Structure 1
Amino acid sequence: MSSRRASDLFVECLETEGVRHVFGIPGEETLDLNESLADSSVDFVPVRHEQGGAYMADMYGRLTGRAGVCLGTLGPGAMNLVTAVGDAYLDRAPLVALTGQADVERMHKESHQYIDLVELFKPITKWNARVSSPEIIPEVVRKAFKVAESEKPGATHLELPEDVLAEQVDARPLERHKPVLPEPGARELLKAADLIRGAINPVVLAGNGVVRAKAAPALREFARATGIQVAETFMGKGLLDYESPYALGTVGLQANDYAMAGFEDADVVITVGYDLVEHAPVHWNPKRNKKVICIDAVPAEVDGHFQPEVELIGDIYHVLSRLAEECRAVPHPGGSHRLRDVVLGRFEAAKDDDHFPLQPPRALWEIRKALGREDMLISDVGLHKLWIGRMFPAHEPNTVMIANGLAGMGFALPCAIAAKMVHPEKNVVTVSGDGGFLMNCQELETATRLKTPIVNVIWENRQYGSIVWKQDKKFGRHFGVDFTNPDFVKLADAFGMPGWRCESAADFGKHLKHALGLDVPSLIVLPIDYSIDVAISEELGVETVST
């Protein structure tokens, strides 16, 4: 071992962690780090805005379970990362944010572009630290990745002062070790099994934690073995194939979702990988009278409406497999298909709707028809997200990607680029509103440069649709929500990619099929008619979720 630049050691630590990409924008304060990256096995991916880079790292972490890495320089570069880092924090995506910083010697006084980034990032990270000396680099890098990837995963942050990374150091990376999960004791497992066997109407609520644990096969076998039916959160879409007889559909949009899925009559609710950040338990346990069995990788959050009788904490796949053996053929499986039947009935009817501009159900029907079981739909944030969460059917997990914790607009395009990098064999389609699309449209250049053949679908109505919907419901009118758009087809052409505007209902399916056959990114503008209510039916009640 010999002395070398601290930035070289830092990059060696990234290589030891298995980092393949760093998404970001270089700055004057990261010159040494970028020079070290240039001579490494890590691919530095220049982006056009730091937020885009952080969203790419966010999606990389979601899909791989390994922390995505993003980079911004000090001051404004670091602050541009914040929204997407917060998204990773609340949506439980492992991410390590790296930010440049001024020399240590000027941190005690007013100084150009200096902001205390450790304090700035503290509320939106699981852990963060300043690299105050080169000797601590192996420890802080190992801890940043360990904390980011441990349940519940999320964002961490390292602040990198310029002078520290330029120093000489004699050290080596620490070895990577996979976090070990505990296992529930036999007593807790048998207690849970007794509650389930004695239940009159048990039902399962499955969330994002099952996706992260890659435990969908175990959940499907649990449902098959016990006969207990499963409702999914927005981020749990595809845990059960929507065509499965045990699938109750996606819950969490409207007041009567849970009642129509059988929760009102349920005496035992088995939550599996359920996260309160997606939808509060008051909506499915308003009277606090349900017996709750919590299966998760970490102990349950404290909430008056979520007080588990039993907590089975550990590897979700293993816990479900053990519980399935104890609970085969439950005498009284609960759940109701009323919600699923209403939603899928409206979805299937849409294929014959030639109304133009297209209404959301027909648009989603065309996308489902064009995509294979394993292909991916990535939703931006807006009224279209509610339609996708409500209605778009999924066959497999991690095929419908939704931001549902922080839920920031501008999510879809950069995330699609990362998704295609992780899964080049899959088709990747985004749906963005014309409001959200322009928030990160600069990453069209990144997609073109990287030759990632994603299909960007813009639902155009020249309004902030979800706010129109809510204002109209509350006040009977809307205000401050109208805008104009550029010519999106010409915009696509300016970025060097093909684009089309749909002029009839039949155009969308035709353009989508063509775009999916290309080896370059593309864009489709789809005029959309939001005159029908995402509530679909008065039977489902008022909405209970924000976009």
Structure 2
Amino acid sequence: MRASDLLVECLEREGVEHVFGVPGEEMEDLLFSLRDSGVSFVPVRHEQGAAFMADVHGRLTGNAGVCLSTLGPGATNLLTGVADAHLDKSPLVAITAQGGLERLHKESHQALDVVGLFAPVTKWNTQLSDPNIVHESVRKAFKLAQYEKPGATHLELPEDVAAEETETQPLPHRERVGYGVPDEASLARVEDLLAAAERPLLVAGNGAVRTGAAAELRDLVAATDLPVVSTYSGKGAVSDADEHSLMTLDSGAHEEAKSALAEADLVITVGYDIAEHDPAEWGLGDAGVVHVDSEPAEVYEAYTPDVEVVADIGETLCALTEWFEAVDRTFDADWFADRREHIVEDVSGEPADEAPFTVEGVLPALRGAMADEDVLISDVGSHKMAIAQNFPTYEPNTCIISNGLASMGIAVPGGLAADLAVDGNVVAATGDGGFLMNAAELETATRVGCGYTVVVFVDDDYGLISEKQEANTGESFGTGLTNPDLVAFAESFGIDGYRPETADELRDALDDAVGSDMALIAVSVA
């Protein structure tokens, strides 16, 4: 078979169902290999959208999403979404075409050092310079992308290599390499700290969700009465309906969660890394810190754990729960109960019907229109902060936020990937700035037959930047926007469009749209 056929057979062996990408002439052999396979190639409108789709697929399923581009500008367009996946620990395999090997040693049309460009935003990447290394390279790309902590990998396929014949066969798919149980000495030190603590607190990070340890974390909370705060990527690890949840680190009009952190005498982070939220803002004081994760903590003056338990996160949490049950110890919940009550009041209050729409005011209606298991994909902007802080999340992996790279433009393509990956309903929430960055993927969504709801918060501004400028200088510059008629824009794709002007119209629009075919709701916000 051709090397391109072998690569596609390797993708099939890895269980890949969709490859998102933009075609190019240097990938002709690979495209026809995909045509003749069981893998669906989804042509998209921009390579960045393809990478965001693969990114969200990886976040939601734990299986590497795959995106594809041609060389040169196709590869550079792909780069932002690949970097987003890498910093948010989402498994992704990027494949780029390249010109023939005979012209890469000299200046050549569209030829760039793509392997060099991708090196800083991938765990591993390589050029497939020989057809006989394709099987090993694809297996390695998926193994490393999916291994804790997951991230992005990249394969470059020159067009002449793609056409060459090979007799090698795909390597067998193997189960992922797992982490072992926590060591007894580290556990004993954690137990000593817990025995001396009066106000311990848990911080749920990305890893608590990503590794499937939410059930074990919930068991620990139920057995101990420990309060939990989450990073933006840890939302849903413990349900925000649980009386122990203090929601996210910035939740509450008076930053109740951070004040609880400041009062805690022991903080146990679960699957947390410092890219998720800067611990310098936590005000920990003299509190002890325990780091539970699959990798050691980053070295940072503001985060120097007393104990690091580097092991399978779920196994570590199970061991701590067993210890608590053996010593028959729980903690007094009174010290954080008032904070919990204030947070719930902040996030659940709906504005008066005649009040102008705000993002915070819209979120209770959006939450009411969605089931617990439905998925919200948040773009980046001022609305992201409101969603992270004020959108109650009840199940793991049901509120997807670009956090590590914080890249605008992820919501519309991410909604497409989510709709293909999950059974529940999907809502993509975005500002007008982020929406128009990848709005063309609405065409892809309708062509593929997706059905999800896009909520666009319209303020004709890069609002978060304006807020920060005004806070610093009292004025803003360079942030104003104009927008097309977004309802007419949606309808031009054959999508239902809504422009609610009252609270009743908003609720009706959400009830009609969520769970139906493709729809867009444009909400003008103050």
With normalisation by structure 2, the TM-score equals 0.96
Partner residue of 1:485? 483
Residues 103-150 of structure 1 deviation map (CA, whole Å, 9 limit, x = unaligned) = 111111000000000011111111111111111111111111111001
Rounded to whole Å, the distance in 2 between the matches of 1:338 and 1:76 is 54
Pick the aligned partner of 1:174 from 159, 171, 174: 171
In terms of mean alpha carbon deviation, does 277-286 or 212-221 score higher? 277-286
Rounded to whole Å, the distance in 1 between the matches of 2:28 and 2:250 is 46
Contact 1:23 1:70 in 2 (8 A): yes
Partner residue of 2:266? 268
Q: Give the deviation of 1:194 after TM superposition.
A: 1.9
Partner residue of 1:534? none
Letter in 1 for 2:341: D
Partner residue of 2:383? 384
Q: Give the deviation of 1:276 after TM superposition.
A: 0.7
Pick the aligned partner of 1:305 from 302, 306, 313: 302
Partner residue of 1:506? 504
Letter in 1 for 2:228: V
Partner residue of 2:358? 359
- Percent identical: 48
Letter in 2 for 1:220: R
Contact 1:261 1:338 in 2 (8 A): no
Q: Give the deviation of 1:190 after TM superposition.
A: 2.0
Rounded to whole Å, the distance in 1 between the matches of 2:367 and 2:151 is 30
Contact 1:24 1:50 in 2 (8 A): yes
Rounded to whole Å, the distance in 1 between the matches of 2:112 and 2:204 is 41
Letter in 2 for 1:386: M
Rounded to whole Å, the distance in 1 between the matches of 2:463 and 2:280 is 27
CA distance 1:111–1:182, shift in 2 (3 Å): same
* 1:236 corresponds to 2:234: yes
Contact 1:234 1:252 in 2 (8 A): no
CA distance 1:71–1:147, shift in 2 (3 Å): same
Task: Report the 3-state secondary structure (helix = DSSP H, G, I; strand = E; otherwise coil) of the residue aligned with 2:437.
Answer: coil
Structure 2 gap ranges (5+): none
CA distance 1:260–1:67, shift in 2 (3 Å): closer
Partner residue of 1:27? 24
Rounded to whole Å, the distance in 2 between the matches of 1:260 and 1:94 is 31
Contact 1:378 1:430 in 2 (8 A): yes
* 1:280 corresponds to 2:278: yes
Residues 66-116 of structure 1 deviation map (CA, whole Å, 9 limit, x = unaligned) = 100000000011111011101001000000000000111111100000000
Partner residue of 1:221? 219
* 1:110 corresponds to 2:68: no
In terms of mean alpha carbon deviation, does 299-308 or 352-361 score higher? 352-361
Contact 2:377 2:411 in 1 (8 A): yes
Contact 2:252 2:389 in 1 (8 A): no
Task: Report the 3-state secondary structure (helix = DSSP H, G, I; strand = E; otherwise coil) of the residue aligned with 1:44.
Answer: strand
Rounded to whole Å, the distance in 1 between the matches of 2:258 and 2:42 is 46
* 1:94 corresponds to 2:91: yes
Contact 1:231 1:261 in 2 (8 A): no
Contact 1:131 1:158 in 2 (8 A): yes
Q: Give the deviation of 1:253 after TM superposition.
A: 6.9
Residues 424-472 of structure 1 deviation map (CA, whole Å, 9 limit, x = unaligned) = x311111111111000000000111112110001111111110111111
Q: Give the deviation of 1:337 after TM superposition.
A: 4.1
Partner residue of 1:545? none
Partner residue of 2:444? 446
Structure 1 gap ranges (5+): 530-547
Rounded to whole Å, the distance in 2 between the matches of 1:256 and 1:119 is 46
Rounded to whole Å, the distance in 2 between the matches of 1:253 and 1:408 is 22
Rounded to whole Å, the distance in 2 between the matches of 1:355 and 1:235 is 34
Letter in 2 for 1:169: T
Letter in 2 for 1:336: F
Q: Give the deviation of 1:332 after TM superposition.
A: 4.1
Contact 2:425 2:515 in 1 (8 A): no
Letter in 1 for 2:246: L
Letter in 2 for 1:488: L
Partner residue of 2:142? 145
Q: Give the deviation of 1:349 after TM superposition.
A: 2.3
- In the TM superposition, what are the counterparts of 1:268-417 in structure 2 within 5 Å? 268-285=266-283, 287=285, 289-328=286-325, 329-330=328-329, 332=331, 336-350=336-350, 352-417=351-416
Residues 265-285 of structure 1 deviation map (CA, whole Å, 9 limit, x = unaligned) = 222111100121111222225
In terms of mean alpha carbon deviation, does 321-330 or 25-34 score higher? 321-330
Partner residue of 2:128? 131
Equivalenced residue count is 522
Rounded to whole Å, the distance in 1 between the matches of 2:243 and 2:321 is 17
Rounded to whole Å, the distance in 2 between the matches of 1:225 and 1:159 is 50
Q: Give the deviation of 1:333 after TM superposition.
A: 5.0
Pick the aligned partner of 2:59 from 54, 57, 62: 62
Letter in 1 for 2:73: P
Contact 1:357 1:505 in 2 (8 A): no
Contact 1:226 1:333 in 2 (8 A): no
With normalisation by structure 1, the TM-score equals 0.92
Q: Give the deviation of 1:258 after TM superposition.
A: 6.7
Partner residue of 1:247? 245
CA distance 1:339–1:480, shift in 2 (3 Å): farther
CA distance 1:427–1:517, shift in 2 (3 Å): closer
Partner residue of 2:8? 11
Rounded to whole Å, the distance in 1 between the matches of 2:253 and 2:383 is 19
Letter in 1 for 2:307: V
Rounded to whole Å, the distance in 2 between the matches of 1:376 and 1:396 is 9
**Cα-Cα RMSD:** 1.7
Rounded to whole Å, the distance in 2 between the matches of 1:259 and 1:223 is 16
Task: Report the 3-state secondary structure (helix = DSSP H, G, I; strand = E; otherwise coil) of the residue aligned with 1:89.
Answer: helix
CA distance 1:517–1:454, shift in 2 (3 Å): closer
Contact 1:285 1:305 in 2 (8 A): no
Q: Give the deviation of 1:354 after TM superposition.
A: 1.6
Q: Give the deviation of 1:347 after TM superposition.
A: 2.7
Pick the aligned partner of 1:85 from 82, 95, 98: 82
Q: Give the deviation of 1:369 after TM superposition.
A: 0.7
